[in-house]
Amino acid sequence: MNKETFMRELDLQLERIPEQDRHELLYDFEEHFEMGEQEGKTEEEITAELGNPKVIAKDMFMEYRITQAEADKSVKNISRAILATISLSFFNLIFVIGPVAGITAAYVGLVAASIALIFTPIVWLGALIFHQTDSLLQPFFITITISSFGVLFGIAMLYVGKVLYLLILKYVKYNIKIVKGAR
Amino acid sequence: MNVQFKKGVLELCVLVLISEKDQYGYELAQNISKRIDVAEGTLYPLLRRLTKENYFTTYLSESTEGPSRKYYSLTEAGREYMESLIEEWKQFSSGVNELIEEAEKNE
């Protein structure tokens, strides 16, 4: 394999990374080629020593996604990091997707519950409009209490969400270590 | 040698080599592949990750010939991390060696 093929393969695998960041990642390899050539090695010898560009690029891509998820905390970024991790190995498909899907589903359930609680006064409003019941004030206070509980619960869920985000990120990184046999 | 196994040890080798003296990527790759058969390309993501974790700092240095070189230098946190890895490695490798020796004796 010559230099051009090697670099093109890297570039192709990393195409989802923005131009500037990708250029920085590729620069290390440009430098490596130049120094190897100075020592009188051929492009073929250098690419043989470097190894498979696909494997190297996958490693870099996953690392990039995790850095993004750490720097800019958003659902989009962590999903991307998880996807990149899964593409690394089949092992990760089972050990990452399982727990992450379970925890996320439980969390979404709790958030939905808190939203439902917040909107209980609507039930009271419905009763007000459709049924002319005698005791409207007592249900009103009950629903307001439930609603404020829902707000507090929702706020708590925001904090839980942040903690979960960090935990999932940690778990993903731990998983990568296992797969790579680092520890 | 088994690829997964090697990747783990590679991190330790990189730390140890850079602790001796600051090196740039290509130089490091040559020093490692002198001893261990390794795909040199995997070093660059590794160097990047260790730099991100603040175990290395980098600086650019002009050279008389060719492009300017990006040198890696070990930080204090890097040194601590390296020492803990060395300790783990020593325990691990001596354990494995003992196992092998015992098995050979019993043959």
Q: Identify the pLDDT of residue A86.
A: 78
Q: What is the pLDDT of residues A68-87, one digit of tens each?
A: 888 888 888 888 888 888 77
ipTM for the complex?
A: 0.80
Does B41 contact A56 at a Cβ distance shorter than 8 Å? Answer: yes
- Residue B16: pLDDT band with limits 50, 70, 90: very high
Contact partners, residue A38, CB within 8 Å, separation at least 6? B65, B66
- Residue A94: pLDDT band with limits 50, 70, 90: confident
CA distance A141 to A144: 5
Does B29 contact A32 at a Cβ distance shorter than 8 Å? Answer: yes
- For the ranges A2-11, A91-100, A137-146, the maximum mean pLDDT occurs at A2-11
pLDDT, averaged across chain A: 86
Give the gap in angstroms from C-alpha A166 to the nearest C-alpha of chain B: 16
**Which chain B residues are Cβ-neighbours of A180 within 8 angstroms?**
4, 7-8
| Contact assessment for residue B41 and residue A51, using Cβ atoms and an 8 Å cutoff | yes
Q: Identify the pLDDT of residue B63.
A: 76
The single-letter DSSP state of residue B55 is: S
Does B44 contact A55 at a Cβ distance shorter than 8 Å? Answer: no
Task: Name the residue type at position A125.
Answer: L
Q: Identify the pLDDT of residue B2.
A: 56
Contact partners, residue B73, CB within 8 Å, separation at least 6? B18, B22, B56, B57, B58, B59
Pairing assessment for the beta strands B69-74 and B23-24 based on DSSP bridges: antiparallel
The pLDDT of residue B7 is above 80: no
- Residue A47: pLDDT band with limits 50, 70, 90: very high
CA dihedral A163, A165, A171, A177 (to 10 degrees): -120
Q: What is the pLDDT of residues A106-135, one digit of tens each?
A: 999 999 999 999 988 888 888 777 776 667
Q: What is the average pLDDT across B98-104? A: 92
What is the pTM assigned to this prediction?
A: 0.71
Does A49 contact B29 at a Cβ distance shorter than 8 Å? Answer: yes
Q: Which residue has the tokens 């490596």?
A: A32
* Alpha carbon A153 to its chain's center: 25
| Contact assessment for residue A62 and residue A13, using Cβ atoms and an 8 Å cutoff | no
Write out the residues of chain A at the interface with chain B, using a CB-CB cutoff of 8 A. 25, 28-32, 34-36, 38, 49-53, 55-56, 59-60, 63, 67, 179-183
Range of weakest confidence among A65-74, A96-105, A170-179: A170-179
Report the candidate in B24, B12, B26, B29 with the shortest Cα–Cα distance to residue B87: B12
- Please check whether residue B52 touches A, CB under 8 A: yes
- Please check whether residue B92 touches A, CB under 8 A: no
Burial of A48 (0-12, 13-18, 19+ CB in 10 A): middle
- Strands in B69-74's sheet, in edge-to-edge order, are B23-24, B69-74, B56-61
Q: What is the pLDDT of residues B25-58, one digit of tens each?
A: 999 999 998 888 888 998 998 999 899 889 999 9
